[in-house]
């Protein structure tokens, strides 16, 4: 098994296809997989046991935590956070040969164990709550929650909560 194109290649036991395009300062942690023809931008981190299949694109500075499933045709923007054990899907009626990837726009945050339906687009700056099941497109700057996911509040309100959290003792 050959590791390819990362600074940790001597230390980290993972699999990265030789046909994948890997940016600068990318870290792919233990037992993670990156398939053929995927493009991983600069400074991306992919956590342990995550699966990035073929024909995936991930923009710069995006963080993918451990145990995340990213199927073929997924498009993920820049500065995105994908929490632990998130499942993105690409086949609404499996097993079928007609696949459509999820799109996650720049600066979005996907909470742990969220599941996102094939073909759904998560808008720029939006937040998906932990455990949400997202069945429809999420507009920009919106926080969604639950199953099926519904609008909860705005990204502005989320940022205020995050700031209050950072500043609390
Ligand atoms: C979406 C999120 C930011 C909401 O947090 P919040 O605004 O502090 O929400 P609160 O905890 O005040 O809860 C508000 C209400 O929503 C409910 N709720 C909160 N998060 C929920 C979730 N993910 N799913 C379902 N209900 C949720 C609460 O039970 C509460 O209900 P109530 O009013 O009936 O009591 C947070 O739940 C979340 O998902 N954060 C991401 C965490 C994560 O995945 N981290 C990954 C790195 S470890």
The rounded percent of the chain whose pLDDT value lies above 90 is 92
Distance from residue 113's CA to the centre of ligand 1 (Å): 13
Query: Does position 1 have pLDDT exceeding 90, yes or no?
Result: no
pLDDT tens for residues 30-71?
Answer: 999 999 999 999 999 999 999 999 999 999 999 999 999 999
Q: Are 95 and 77 in contact (CB under 8 A)?
A: no
The CA distance from 11 to 75, in Å, is: 29
pLDDT tens for residues 77-113?
Answer: 999 999 999 999 999 999 999 999 999 999 999 999 9
Q: Are 119 and 92 in contact (CB under 8 A)?
A: yes
Distance from residue 73's CA to the centre of ligand 1 (Å): 30
Ligand 1 pocket residues where CB is under 6 Å: 83, 111-112, 129-131, 143, 145-146, 161
- Sorted by where each starts, the structural domains of the chain and their CATH numbers stand as 15-167 (2.160.10.10)
CA atoms within 13 A on the CB side of 50: 24
> pTM of this prediction?
0.94
């Amino acid at each position: 098994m050959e590791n390819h194109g990362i600074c940790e290649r001597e230390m980290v036991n993972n699999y990265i296809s030789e046909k994948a395009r890997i940016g600068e300062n990318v870290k792919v942690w233990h037992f993670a997989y990156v398939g053929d023809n995927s493009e991983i931008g600069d400074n991306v981190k992919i956590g342990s046991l995550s699966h990035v299949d073929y024909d995936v694109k991930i923009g710069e500075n995006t963080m993918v935590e451990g145990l995340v499933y990213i199927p073929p045709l997924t498009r993920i923007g820049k500065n995105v956070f994908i929490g632990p054990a998130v499942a993105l899907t690409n086949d609404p009626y499996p097993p079928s040969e007609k696949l459509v990837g999820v799109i996650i726009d720049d600066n979005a945050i996907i909470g742990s164990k969220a599941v996102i339906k094939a073909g759904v687009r998560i808008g720029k700056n939006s937040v998906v709550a932990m455990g949400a099941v997202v069945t429809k497109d999420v507009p920009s700057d919106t926080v969604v929650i639950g199953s099926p996911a519904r609008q909860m509040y705005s990204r502005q309100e989320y940022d205020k909560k995050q700031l209050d959290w950072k500043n609390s003792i």
